[in-house]
Amino acid sequence: MADAFDLIVLGGGSGGLAAAIRAARHGARVAMLEPNFLGGTCVNVGCVPKKAMWLAADLAEKLPVARQLGFDLSEQVAHEWSPLLAARNAYIERIHASYGSRLHELGVSVIPAFGKLTANAGEVLAADKRLHARHILIATGSRPLRPQIPGAELGAVSDDFFAWREAPARVAIVGGGYISVELAGVLQALGSEVEIFVRQGRLLSHFDAEITQALTNAMTAHGIKLHFNADVLALHEQEAKLAVETGSGRQAGFDKVLFATGRLPNSADIGLEAAGVNCNSRGQIEVDAWQNTSASGVYAVGDVTPQPALTPHAVAASRRLMDRLFAGEQDARVNFAAIPTVVFSHPPLATVGLSETDARKAHGDDVAVARSAFRPMLGALADKPEKSLFKVVYRRSDERVLGIHLIGEGSDEILQGFAVAMQMGMRLGDLRSTLAIHPTSAEEVVLAQ
């Protein structure tokens, strides 16, 4: 039957693509429903274009260091966004083409339409077609949240940022999470004057407090102005500019205001209620450790669920689910001892495992910390004051490493290998018995005291 499949995937983002490709390689007949570009948030308005912008911003921050170390640069090195955006967009187009080619080679039917579940088990509506499958995977992702405040329509969200063609002269960013921090660093380095309005008393509230304080200090030194305990109540048009109203008054004169206040799951209008799929109070699809929803034969992965909103997690969950459904691997599921993640701030921040605060909540006085605060060699050569800070949180009784937290140049690349060791149950003695690679920043993890 033309409408009969082994698997129907709703959503062509990272999780959906990983599932479709893995299932097809196991011999399953797969249909993928995606009305927009392949790759979802990560490829189109998330990780990939953000990292491209971050790399350009990183270069911009290194230019003064290059001049100080003897490179003959003009007094003012101008930057135009157009070549950067052209390179970024061409890179993304190559990713689209690669995904399309791979899906075609594997025989996956890509249908450019929204999918909607029905009350009939195993049935999905796609435009004017009714598709059927033994298994249905929901991987519809999430979208930026625009707060319900007066004048909110005057502000942009993170998706809009990637349509900007130049650096606004002055930008206000609302929010203190990783999207706010990342875009603030990019904009400041590429020519904008940036202010951040944070409802809470610190940045990145779920990260290690000592590390985020180091980030706060670095961002302030880079010229970013931070407003803490600043609940944004409204936006206003004022003298052809935008003004941000908080409980303490108005800050005016902004060319752009960018909301980075969280994301909402794309779970509405896809037939969840009719199919018997339960959601939590935030609209996220409830799943168990095996990605099962409350409806038999219906699964969910990625940002549409309460699981970590990280591309690698969605990819891993999807692949293991497909191994279980189509390769007979009955125990296949995501099971990470600790999940590594990176914030592409300036400087970058990387973390895996428990923060010091969370470790002390779980283990009390049995927790100890080894630290290393140092100037990276390039910065030291240029006599820059900014320091890196590397922390290892461990349990005294058995020296089990509970968390590793890094901020500083190269942190984003350094953490991956240590995350492998964390997954394997690393202890402090394993670090102490590992020979340092000198001179590097990474050696400070094994030398931390």
Phi first, then psi, for residue 357 (nearest 5°) are -60, -50
3-state secondary structure of 382: coil
Omega prior to 347 cis, within 30 of 0: yes
Q: Cα Rg for the chain, rounded, in angstroms?
A: 24
Q: In whole angstroms, give the CA distance from residue 385 to residue 362.
A: 35
Structure-block tokens of residue 338: 């600790």
**Where do we find the tokens 């809009």?**
160
**Where do we find the tokens 């809470």?**
200
Phi first, then psi, for residue 235 (nearest 5°) are -115, 150
Quickly count: other Cβ atoms within 10 Å of residue 45's Cβ.
Answer: 22
Considering the candidates 132, 222, 405, 438, report the single residue annotated as catalytic. 438
Asked about 438 being catalytic, the answer comes back as: yes
Task: Report long-range pairs for 50-53 (Cβ below 8 Å, ≥24 apart).
Answer: 50/182, 50/183, 50/186, 50/344, 51/344, 52/84, 52/87, 52/88, 52/91, 53/84, 53/88, 53/186, 53/190
- Our measurement of the distance from residue 6's CA atom to the centroid of its chain's CA atoms, rounded to an integer in Å, reads 31
Contact assessment for residue 172 and residue 254, using Cβ atoms and an 8 Å cutoff: yes
Cite the active site residues. 438
